[in-house]
Amino acid sequence: MNKKALPIVAVALAAGAAIAWWSGLLGSGNRERGPKLTLYGNVDIRQVQLGFRVSGRLAEALVDEGDSVKAGDRLASLDAQPYQDLIRVAEAQAGAARATLQKLEAGPRPAEIDQARAVHQERVADQQNAELVFERSARLRPSGAVSEAALDQAKAARDMAVARTQSAVEALRLLEQGSRAEDIAAARANLQASEASLAAAQTSLKDATLIAPAAGVILSRVREPGAIVAPSDIVYVLSLATPVWVRAYIAEPDLGRIHTGMKVEIFADSSPGKPYSGKVGFISPVAEFTPKSVETPELRTDLVYRLRVVVDQGLNGLRQGMPVTVRIPLGRGNAGGS
């Protein structure tokens, strides 16, 4: 081969290699199905400060920092004795109120009515005897056989007998009519109040046990057994396992390119080759200045909109505040749901 032709062949080979490399890039771009919007943000994992709704002495703390818990797990408990005592008192009060209501609803017993009738008959007999004594004294008074004082005494005795008879009549009528509707209603309301007090005491006893509201990891154990805690005191701090969100920001020109429900990929610096999947869950309707944590120079002085991305798998590798990169495919395959 002519030595002058060698440079020409080398140039041709280099050009062919460049064309092949460029074609590979285009093919790779086709496999990614269109352009992607790249955003930057931080992982946002919710935390819960746990405490009791009632006060008391902390009897036991069952978990420690770093322990994983499930929803419904017992975390701690207070000394239950004071609340058990309150339940016994409330049960006794409710029992007394229930007995009073049952007594009023049942009304008087037959023996009580018979006793009232006997008393009434006795009072009638006393009245008749007092009237006879008064009439006799009144007939003898003109002849002087009975003094004026004796006549007055007989009259007073008759009036007293009449009053006692009337009282016996009313007492018998009350027993025969039974309990008043108002008394029954008041007794029923008193029973309801006693039962409500019992339910409140039972709720307080239940609240003396601290239950994990959701799955997660204990970040902090603030109180130790023996401490006296109030309802506002924090006993544990729980980092929730789900949901895990990414707080990102999008510039106003790109706002029309996304909508809620779009699928996204989240890349963390600790595992750049293993993306996490998620979707756009919330787009803020209010603009704000770009936060300092967003490291895109062209956006630092512009207004942006906060974006919440819900991560739906691979949560163990993400930590609170971790910086991540969010890539949103903009092709037709990412229609999502708005």
Query: What pLDDT digit, counting tens, does each position of 218-229 carry?
Result: 999 999 999 999
Please tell me the pTM assigned to this model: 0.63
Structure tokens, 28: 């790779």
Task: Give backbone dihedrals phi and psi of 220, rounded to 5 degrees, phi first.
Answer: -145, 140
Fold type of domain 48-80+207-237: OB fold (Dihydrolipoamide Acetyltransferase, E2P) (2.40.50)
Residues 6+ apart with CB under 8 A from 53: 207, 231
Q: Are 60 and 223 in contact (CB under 8 A)?
A: no
**What dotted CATH number matches 33-45+242-329?**
2.40.30.170
pLDDT digits (tens, 9 = 90+) for 106-152: 777 777 777 878 888 888 888 888 888 888 888 877 877 778 888 78
Q: What pLDDT score does 8 carry?
A: 47
- Read off the pLDDT band of 12 (50, 70, 90): very low
Residue 93 has pLDDT above 60, yes or no: yes
Residue 19 has pLDDT above 50, yes or no: no
Q: Are 168 and 116 in contact (CB under 8 A)?
A: yes
Of 190-194, 206-210, 292-296, the range with the lowest mean pLDDT is 292-296
Q: What pLDDT score does 76 carry?
A: 97
Q: What pLDDT score does 18 carry?
A: 41
- Domain layout of the chain by residue ranges: 33-45+242-329, 48-80+207-237, 86-203
**What is residue 279's DSSP assignment?**
E
